[in-house]
Structure 1
Amino acid sequence: MNASIITIGDELLIGQTIDTNSAFIAQEFNKVGIWVKRRVAVGDVAGDIRAALDEESKQAQIIILTGGLGPTADDITKPLLNNYFGGKMVIDPKVAEHIEYLFREVYRRSGPIEERNKKQAEVPDVARVLHNARGSAPGMWFEKNVDGRTVVFVSLPGVPHEMKGLLIDEVIPRLLRHFKFPFIVHRTAFTAGMGESMVAERLPDFEAALPRHIKLAYLPSYGIVKLRLTGQGHKEQQLTDEVDLQFDQMTALLEDIIVSKKDEPIEQVIGHLLLKQQKTMATAESCTGGNVAHWITRVPGSSAYYNGSIVSYSNIIKEALLQVPAGVLRAQGAVSSETVEAMVKGALQQLGADYAVATSGIAGPDGGTPQKPVGTIWIAAGSQDRIVTKLLQLRFDREQNIEITTMQALLLLRRMILDQEG
């Protein structure tokens, strides 16, 4: 069962707005066995939207549209769909009542409701109206016979909060009643220390022996590689058992580079380890500017093991708060093994943690020298008993250098914690 997602809006094409809707829809569809085959972005151009509808209806049985349902003149999706499906616009009394409620009771607007807002209660008479509890633009469900197949078209608001509510409360329950979907099962392993091609070189026989209904995908990012096995079938338990068996075989071949056998980020892996040991951590950051702290604290419950951070962007702060010796900064420089080692010691003492990580380097695009070019970054992780440092020589832009440094610092901390545990 294939689906297509069509996102509508010039703001998506010029990069002004990032399309998070498609990712959410795909994730939720995947949970119920709907495979998103294609994602298409089009501007606020009627001909382009019609062409996308025609093309995607040849590919998929479910088409989800987001965007273009607002009250302004550039929101053209609703009248276009009315024309496309041969309907006429009518006032839906329930939508009109809901709009009245929103403006009077929720938004608490005084004075008359503007006509453009009232017109959001107009819907094509050929559509099944889907209640939008979070906003004034209703969702709409259409059906059309395409080459002997019934294709479902669902139009949703582009506002993510409203789209999510409609998808979960209205669209998916209706789709589950309308179609019978296969099961989709995923298992993901998280590896580090080896590039994508090198990992693949260790799995050719394994990949060749996979059943046709189970696929392997490589997902590289910031110095790590995730491997995802995906199986599709109609018997859930049988499929789960098959995928689990293949996953165990795959991870046995990669045991030395496995970080986690779950689809979880490195910061969550760190959290599990610290909770298990009943230990705490802190961060001392320079070039990453608090990004390591940000990663750690985006995990709910991280206050149980994360004490805090000192973002020592200047040498004055390194000396004053982290007690990095002035002689080290003069002789070795802020970007050095000696400095990050001292930063770890300072963080352990000042923030009262069992473990600490430190970063200091030249993220770019400026600031490099022939001896220490842009991308030269030192990281460290340690405890009261031991501190390890590592030199990174990165070649990317500033944002990527910071993200990779954050990942590598946490991987270094993970290894430190495991070594202490062992």
Structure 2
Amino acid sequence: MDFGFGAEDEAFRREARAWLEEHLVGRFTAAVGRGGPGSEHDGSAERRAWERELGSGGWIGLGWGETGHGNRAATLTEQVVWAEEYARVRAPGRCGHIGENLLAPTLLAYGSREQRRRFLPPIARGEELWCQGYSEPGAGSDLASLRTSAVRDGDGRWRVSGQKVWTSLAHEADWCFVLARTEPGSRRHHGLSFLLVPMDQPDRVEVRPIRQLTGTSEFNEVFFDGAVAEEVVGRAGAGWQVAMGLLAFERGVSTLAQQIGFAAQLRRLAREAVASGAVGDPVIADRIVRLWAELRVMRWNALRTLGGAGDPGAPSVAKLLWGGWHQRLGELALRVRGPGAAVGPADWSPAAPYELDDVQRLFLFSRADTIYGGSDEIQRTIIAERVLGLPREAT
């Protein structure tokens, strides 16, 4: 199996590298390496400006297939090249990835022509940010049990009421795509609709940050109290198909960029182990080698399955691989650091957010890796039922 890149891919790599070197300067240098998992609050103003800079260059929406919205065309391998180059220069963490990588492909697959014309260009320009309104208290992994509802008002618009939770970047988003129950009395997967809700609705949309172990608040609770939505993606009452279609887009080329970041974290850990002498512990040395080997396997698996449309187990396998791997990396980082890894800053106060170093943030935030985006238990159930054909669990 050939995992290499062709001449056209390498030419695209040179173009991408040159653009990043030319534009990742000035105010944007302050955002280099900032805004990753666990620190998505970091440098938010510079990163939002960087989003618009990316849009001006046509670098948002490479994987959409359909062009003409301000985005440029790129083959699948060119998308991989861009993701790798972006990660290698530690370019700012993206604040528009939910709109670009989740909503946009969903609109291209299920939306109307008018919806694509309205919503894709602002995403491609880096002007409008999105968040995802799926999980609820009591309806996280079991999304079909959601209770958020929407009813028609006298003007034919939808009025959304309910609560969503663990909503990433809701405090910065301009729009939220919301899965809500629009057919009274319906159950489980039936009677749901995929609605597009503007967030700027005072007294109708309230966002409450959720403070995490890291002291930051990337996740939020969102309360809808008669919030107005005028757009339904797909057919009203058939939102489950749209919602599941969106999840299939969630783990694509971006997983390869994620692995570049993982590799950088592993290199830093290995250097620290050598500098401190911790690598002399054969258990630590063995675990570093194992993590390196597992990361290579993840890359090969991602490249092998990237173009494999229709494989229902590929996204779940990928999630299981990287979630557990990243947790093990965080655990090993603490072991390499030793007892000092548990020591916080001297000026810590329970009344204010505290600063963590990279190792502490890695360990604490990675505890969520096997939960968010679909827990490991849910991924194994998907593989068991949809790939292996095992009987469904009794409900």
Give the structure-1-normalised TM-score: 0.23
Determine which structure has the larger helix proportion and give its number. 2
Determine which structure has the larger strand proportion and give its number. 1
Rg larger in 1 or in 2?
1
Q: State the structure with bigger RCO (CA 8 A, min sep 6), 1 or 2.
A: 2
